[in-house]
């Protein structure tokens, strides 16, 4: 099942994707109840499926090749940081370039949405706490990220966390470590990898984070990005007004946002 949050005629709702339509399904992302007449997807605005009350927990340097291009050794344990909820946008919304940065970068990531309260779970049990998977773009202002000496501001500016276009429920993804992942900028593939190459997989991440941070229903884990990001290229490639940046994950979806 593909579950989305959308706006139609000024009202926000939850819906289930059915081909080129969305079927209204109540107001709870984690317990959709499809009912009513389908609405054409072209008639709705797709919002972030993750609500602003959720925690956004991110993982840095979770692909060895990305760590290498960043000049870092692979971390011995998951490197955890957070994005703030003001950064959330959906597939129908634009990434806005801020005045205070001219080095805005892209990062394609697999997102994990938590199903129920999760605390101190084992890696063996972790998958049963996952509601589903989505696409995430961990947009990053590199000059702020590296200049500040920590990552919160550079990762959390308004519109810097596109998520969507929907959540694919966990029962449709037999193994989250077998998914091709790509980032495409104006039609050119910038990142292309596979979640099999994560240093720490979904089960390990859910377990590791939950040992000290209780995860609540609807929380989002962004599992890290593969190599090919803009700042590591020669010359660097940063987002510019008019760009279209797309995150594609096999069996999950395609999340495209225009840059303004």
Q: Give mean pLDDT in consecutive 10-residue pieces for the chain, a chain of 260 residues.
A: 97 97 97 96 98 97 92 94 98 97 98 98 98 98 96 98 98 98 98 98 98 98 98 97 98 98
Contact between 144 and 101 under an 8 Å Cβ cutoff? The reply is yes
Q: Are 141 and 226 in contact (CB under 8 A)?
A: no
Q: What confidence score (pLDDT) does residue 42 get?
A: 97
pLDDT (0 to 100) of residue 5: 98
Give dist(CA 34, CA 23) in Å, integer.
Answer: 6
- Give, in degrees to the nearest 5, the angle at Cα 87 between 165 and 16: 25
Coil, helix or strand at residue 164: strand
pLDDT for the residue 74: 92
Three-class secondary structure of residue 216 per DSSP: coil
Look up tokens 């500040």; give the residue: 148
Residue with token string 């039609």: 187
Q: What is the pLDDT of residue 99?
A: 97
Q: 152 φ, ψ to 5°?
A: -60, -50
Task: Report which DSSP code applies to 170.
Answer: G
Rg, C-alpha atoms of the chain: 17
d(CA 131, CA 116): 8
Q: Alpha helix locations (H) across the chain? A: 64-69, 123-126, 142-148, 152-155, 202-210
Predicted model pTM: 0.97
Tokens, residue 177 = 């470590």
- Angle in degrees, CA 165, 168, 171, rounded to 5: 180
Which residues, 6 or more positions from 65, have their beta carbon under 8 angstroms from its beta carbon?
193, 197, 226, 227
Q: Where are the domains of the chain?
A: 1-47, 48-258
- Nearest C-alpha neighbor of 70 from the set 246, 236, 221, 182: 236
**CATH 2.30.30.370 fits domain 1-47:** yes
The Cα 254–Cα 10 span in angstroms is 25
Rounded Cα distance between 89 and 185, Å, is 18
Give the right CATH number for 48-258 from 3.90.850.10, 3.40.50.970, 3.40.1170.60, 3.40.50.280.
3.90.850.10
Residues 6 or more apart whose Cβ sits within 8 Å of residue 29 = 3, 5, 14, 49, 50, 51, 113, 131, 167, 218
């Amino acid at each position: 099942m593909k579950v989305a949050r959308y706006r139609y005629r000024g009202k926000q709702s939850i819906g289930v994707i059915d081909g080129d339509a969305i079927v209204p399904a109540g107001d709870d992302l984690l317990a959709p109840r499809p009912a009513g007449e389908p609405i054409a997807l072209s008639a709705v605005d797709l919002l972030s499926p993750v609500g602003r009350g959720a925690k956004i927990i991110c993982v840095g340097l979770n692909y060895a090749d990305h760590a290498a291009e960043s000049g870092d050794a692979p971390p011995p344990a998951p490197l955890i940081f957070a994005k703030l909820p003001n950064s959330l946008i959906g597939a129908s919304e634009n990434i806005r370039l801020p005045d205070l940065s001219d080095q805005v970068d892209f990062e394609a990531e697999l997102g994990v949405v938590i199903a129920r309260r999760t605390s101190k779970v084992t890696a063996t049990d972790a998958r049963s706490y996952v509601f589903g998977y989505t696409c995430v773009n961990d947009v990053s202002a590199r000059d702020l990220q590296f200049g500040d000496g920590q990552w919160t501001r550079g990762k959390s500016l308004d519109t810097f966390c596109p998520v969507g276009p929907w959540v694919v429920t966990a029962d449709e993804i037999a193994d989250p470590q077998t998914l091709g992942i790509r980032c495409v900028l104006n039609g050119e593939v910038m990142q292309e990898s596979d979640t099999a190459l994560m240093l720490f997989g979904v089960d390990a991440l859910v377990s590791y984070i939950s040992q000290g941070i209780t995860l609540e229903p609807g929380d989002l884990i962004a599992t890290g990005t593969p190599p090919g990001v803009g700042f590591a290229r020669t010359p660097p490639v940063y987002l510019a007004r008019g760009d279209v940046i797309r995150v594609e994950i096999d069996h999950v979806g395609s999340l495209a946002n225009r840059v303004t």
